[in-house]
Amino acid sequence: LWLTPVVQNDEHPHGYNAVDFFAVADDLGTREQYEQLVEAAHDRGMRVLFDFVCNHTAREHPFFQDADGDPDSPYHDWYEWEDSGEPATYFDWPYIANLDYSTLAVRRHVLDVVDEWAPLVDGFRVDMAWAVPTPFWREVRDRVKAVDDDFLLVDETIPYVPEFAHLVFDVHFDSTLYFRLRQIGQGNEPAGAAVDAVAGRARVGFPDHAGFLTYAENHDETRYLAACGRPAARAAAAAVGTL
């Protein structure tokens, strides 16, 4: 069971702009209710993934509010800044600010977040894993695996990064297969391109033991049915289920 982020966030309801990494969002309920949800899932033989977002905070986060426009703030070094004085972001997203992982206090704070949530759940789906330094993920892996060797680490990395398969993440978003399925569904490539996408994993450097999360759509994407039509959507679902 993978839920999008459950932590306290700004006014955007998707939850990816955190204002408090340690609290459950008010509109979702209480910490106790979240723990009850995890327990209920476990009672039904299900495991729970926590959507772990640590590349950035919301600009509404109190640390950023303190740092913005104040070079003397104790949190100013927690963030990456452009020469203009604006916070660094990806894709010109206006509501977030990138954390600076060269700052030791940032790494310590995020590891505290790991320690807060990892004991409650069965794995992390890591948002924007490519944007956080790989050595930090090694530190996270060592920390969670020391407690639970079965703790699952899933990276959302588009396009995927083969190096993440070597002693870092267990499962990888298969963005390449996703793209090929879209191209096939829209008539731009032959159906065999899906098989080529799977075979291509080894060519780019993934080891045989690497696991992949295959998908034709997710919460970030348009519906495959709407984009490609029902026959293609049924075929894509069958491909995802078998490949």
Pairing state between β 7-9 and 211-213: unpaired
DSSP character at residue 116: H
Of 10, 122, 127, 170, which residue is the catalytic one? 127
Residue-wise burial string across 210-225, b where 16 or more C-beta atoms lie within 10 A, e elsewhere:
bebbbbbbeeeeeebb
Distances (CA, A) of 36 to 5, 116, 125: 17, 16, 20
**Is 156 noted as a catalytic residue in this protein?**
yes
Q: Supply 151's token pair.
A: 């703790």
3-state secondary structure 38-52: HHHHHHCCCCCEEEE
Catalytic residue among 156, 170, 174, 217: 156
Sign of CA dihedral 108, 111, 112, 115: negative
127 is an active site residue: yes
Closest to 149 measured CA to CA, from 170, 126, 120:
170
Q: Which element (helix H / strand E) includes 193?
A: helix 192-204
Phi, psi of 192 (to 5 degrees): -60, -15
Instruction: Give how far the C-alpha of residue 14 lies from the chain's centroid of Cα atoms, to the nearest Å.
Output: 13
CA distance linking residue 134 with residue 158, whole number of Å: 15
| Helices (H), ranges, 60-130 | 62-67, 104-117
Positions marked active-site: 127, 156
